[in-house]
């Protein structure tokens, strides 16, 4: 049963039209908190998909294109106990700021959104949203970058270089760089991520070495399904790992079980999940988020 109602956006539109300075004021006034709370775990809701034109959730091809509905779901998720914050591109972050939903929340700015799905230039994922300077100026807590590496595509070298520069720039400002790496390949013209254990290990160790320091680098990695695979991934680095949610599954209990097992590993410290929690099969966002929070050891410090 759905637990959301559409957000009335007329006031947001009026502010954007008549008082655009309200956005900068909201960034400046936002109450902040430490990146990691007493539990040492992080629970973040991901909502940066629309900025890359990725709108599908489950069997709904345009689910995330309905902004009032998306905002309503995010407002439910962000008020649940144990949820630390949100990952999004500027437009969604600023909607939430203007709605007053990001006080004392972790805000991670999504950075490179140019790798649009299905395009010839998908691997050339340039920084078109936040940049390190903008993240620092907006008083955000971290910057996230997607990194796909295709050994058959020379554009991957430029993507690696840009991500390395961003890692260094964020670290120079004392800000966390959240890198989401994949080994990828073209399959009938479509870019596909390789989710085997070997590929995820390879992507993790490459991402861990980016930039002039790894002091502020975290990794956002998928859960590997093959037996023993996630243990190998977790053992490949000492950087903090957060798990991504991926596509909406028909059986969410299967996803919860995989997350819970992976979260028991010493380097896996949190979840950064979007569509799986915002668009659960039964529509109950609050219940989905509460279940995910319950999987994080010691996450009782809301």
Strand (E) positions, the chain? 42-46, 85-88, 106-110, 142-150, 176-187, 190-193, 217-221, 241-244, 268-273
Q: Per residue of the chain (302 residues), give pLDDT as tens.
A: 344 567 889 999 999 999 999 999 999 999 999 999 999 999 999 999 999 999 999 889 999 999 999 999 999 999 999 999 999 999 999 999 999 999 999 999 999 999 999 999 999 999 999 999 999 999 999 999 999 999 999 999 999 999 999 999 999 999 999 999 999 999 988 999 999 999 999 999 999 999 999 999 999 999 999 999 999 999 999 999 999 998 777 789 999 999 999 999 999 999 999 999 999 999 999 999 999 999 998 875 54
Domain ranges of the chain: 37-294
Residues across the chain: 302
Tell me how far apart the terminal alpha carbons of the chain are, to the nearest angstrom: 25
Identify the pLDDT of residue 5: 67
Chain centroid to Cα 8, Å, comes to 25
Q: Tell how strand 176-187 and strand 190-193 pair up.
A: antiparallel
Q: Tell me the pTM.
A: 0.95
Q: Is 53 exposed, middle or buried (0-12, 13-18, 19+ CB in 10 A)?
A: middle
Strand-pair partners of 187 = 190
CA distance 32 to 103: 7
Neighbours of 132 (CB within 10 A): 22
Contacts of 279 (CB under 8 A, 6+ apart): 57, 58, 60, 63, 73, 248
Identify the pLDDT of residue 302: 45
Q: What is the pLDDT of residues 39-70, one digit of tens each?
A: 999 999 999 999 999 999 988 999 999 999 99
Class of the CATH-defined domain 37-294: alpha beta
What would the DSSP string read from start to end of 251-266?
A: -HHHHHHHHHHHHTST
CA distance 114 to 122: 7
Q: What is the pLDDT of residues 125-139, one digit of tens each?
A: 999 999 999 999 999
Identify the pLDDT of residue 8: 87
Selection from 184, 173, 176, 8 nearest residue 99 by Cα: 8
Q: Is 283 helix (H, G, I), strand (E, B) or coil?
A: coil
């Amino acid at each position: 049963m759905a637990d959301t109602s559409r957000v009335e956006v007329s006031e947001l539109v009026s502010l954007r039209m008549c008082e655009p300075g309200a956005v900068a004021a909201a960034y400046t006034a936002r109450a902040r908190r430490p990146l990691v709370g007493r539990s040492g775990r992080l629970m973040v809701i991901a909502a940066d998909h629309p900025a890359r034109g990725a709108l599908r959730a489950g069997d709904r091809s345009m689910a995330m294109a309905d902004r009032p509905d998306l905002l309503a779901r995010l407002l439910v998720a962000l008020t649940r106990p144990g949820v630390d914050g949100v990952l999004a591109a500027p437009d969604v972050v600023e909607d939430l700021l203007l709605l007053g939903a990001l006080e004392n929340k972790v805000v991670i700015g999504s950075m490179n959104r140019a790798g649009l799905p299905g395009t010839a230039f998908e691997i050339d994922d340039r920084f078109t949203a936040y940049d390190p300077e903008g993240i620092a100026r907006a008083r955000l807590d971290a910057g996230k970058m997607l990194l796909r590496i295709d050994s058959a595509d020379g554009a991957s070298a430029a993507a690696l270089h840009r991500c390395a520069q961003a890692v260094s720039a964020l670290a120079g400002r004392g800000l966390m760089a959240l890198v989401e790496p994949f080994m990828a390949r073209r399959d009938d013209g479509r870019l596909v991520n390789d989710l085997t254990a070997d590929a995820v290990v390879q992507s993790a160790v490459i991402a861990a070495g980016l930039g002039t320091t790894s002091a502020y680098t975290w990794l956002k990695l998928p859960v590997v399904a093959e037996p023993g695979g996630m243990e190998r991934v977790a053992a490949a680095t000492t950087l903090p790992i957060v798990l991504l949610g991926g596509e909406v599954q028909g059986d969410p209990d299967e996803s919860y079980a995989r997350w819970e097992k992976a979260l028991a590993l010493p380097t896996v410290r949190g979840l950064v999940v979007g569509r799986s929690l915002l668009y659960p099969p039964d529509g109950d966002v609050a219940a989905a988020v509460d279940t995910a929070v319950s999987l994080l050891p010691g996450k009782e410090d809301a």
